[in-house]
């Protein structure tokens, strides 16, 4: 769910005192080094090296909004939201969509293999001209993270960072309660934080904005519980790999975007 709000692009504050994310970097390779490296996939075809960045954070932590802004600023970035892929499958009533529907309505995770197959398919068709793949909402379990490693190796990509957006529960509830989305173009809004110009109407395409079915109070509570039980173990998993970066996800959205940009 994304905002199309027009805000001037500010310079990242990575170098400023206090502006940096708490990172656990492994090497000082520059973006240019990465872009110039080429890798050979299992099919013996060489392709440019691609970075994978995993965005972690509870429901409403801003993963989608931040990813959309990063893509808007750098056309070599690609973004996928597993939730969006699943909602589209439900809308189209594909086999996967029919299977996922019930889990999603209850705020439970859909089976690992089902969502992993969708991400694998997306990665297979999204590498063209890409430097960085931003994964939003996937992986969400340790098993999914293991599948991602296998998939990445198969398409010449390497996980370079797992960014954890840190947001307190009260803020998450407030954001989700006010969240509105455009069914026409996918733009995301918030009734007070990111309001559309005309109430209830998408700035981009004029469609009437809707509330997501699983954004009810009960379901959100369940999603937070699921996040704590099943997704938090991923933090240890990525910390052990030396790729975890913790970033504050509160305050003005531009600040969070800058902090993530600096962390990846």
Burial grade of 21 (CB within 10 A; 0-12, 13-18, 19 or more): buried
Contact pick of 21, 134, 176, 187 for Zn ion (by CB under 5 A): 187
For 41, the token pair is 């996939």
Query: In this structure, are strands 244-248 and 157-166 parallel, antiparallel, or unpaired?
Result: parallel
Binding string, 147-166, against ligand ADP, x = CB under 6 A?
--------------------
* The one segment of 7-15, 48-56, 77-85, 146-154 that binds ligand ADP by CB under 6 A: 77-85
Contact pick of 54, 96, 104, 257 for ligand ADP (by CB under 6 A): 104
- 137: contact with ligand ADP by CB under 6 A: yes
Q: Give me the catalytic one of 69, 212, 246, 259.
A: 212
Cis before 139? omega within 30: yes
Q: Is 98 a catalytic residue?
A: no
For 217, the token pair is 């109070």
- 201: contact with Zn ion by CB under 5 A: no
Q: Is 221 a catalytic residue?
A: no
**Which residues, 6+ apart, have CB-to-CB distance to 229 below 8 Å?**
none
Distance (Å, whole) CA 80 – CA 136: 6
- Interface residues toward ligand ADP, by CB under 6 A: 59-60, 81-83, 86, 103-104, 107-110, 115, 137-138, 140, 144, 214, 223
Point out the residues that are catalytic: 63, 140, 179, 212, 223
């Amino acid at each position: 769910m994304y905002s199309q709000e027009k805000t001037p692009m500010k310079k990242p504050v990575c170098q400023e005192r206090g502006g940096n994310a708490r990172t656990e970097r492994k090497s000082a390779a520059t973006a240019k080094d990465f872009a110039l490296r080429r890798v050979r996939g299992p099919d013996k075809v060489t392709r440019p090296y691609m970075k994978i960045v995993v965005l972690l954070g509870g429901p409403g932590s801003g993963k989608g909004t931040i990813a959309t802004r990063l893509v808007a600023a750098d056309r070599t970035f690609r973004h996928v939201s597993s939730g969006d892929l699943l909602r589209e499958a439900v809308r189209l009533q594909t086999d996967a969509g029919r299977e996922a529907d019930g889990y999603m309505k209850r705020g439970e995770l859909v089976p690992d293999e089902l969502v992993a197959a969708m991400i694998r398919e997306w990665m297979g068709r999204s590498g063209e001209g890409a430097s960085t793949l931003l994964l939003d909402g996937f992986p969400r379990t340790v098993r999914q993270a293991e599948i991602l490693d296998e998939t990445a190796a198969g398409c010449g990509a390497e996980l370079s960072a797992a960014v954890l957006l840190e947001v307190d529960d009260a803020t998450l509830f407030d954001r989700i309660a006010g969240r509105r989305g455009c069914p026409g173009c996918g733009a995301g809004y918030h009734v007070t934080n990111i309001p559309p110009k005309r109430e209830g109407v998408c700035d981009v395409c004029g469609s009437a904005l809707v509330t997501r079915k699983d954004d009810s109070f009960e379901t959100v509570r369940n999603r937070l519980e699921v996040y704590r039980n099943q997704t938090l173990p991923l933090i240890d998993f990525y910390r052990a790999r030396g790729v975890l970066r913790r970033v504050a996800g509160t305050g003005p959205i531009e600040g969070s975007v800058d902090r993530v940009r600096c962390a990846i």
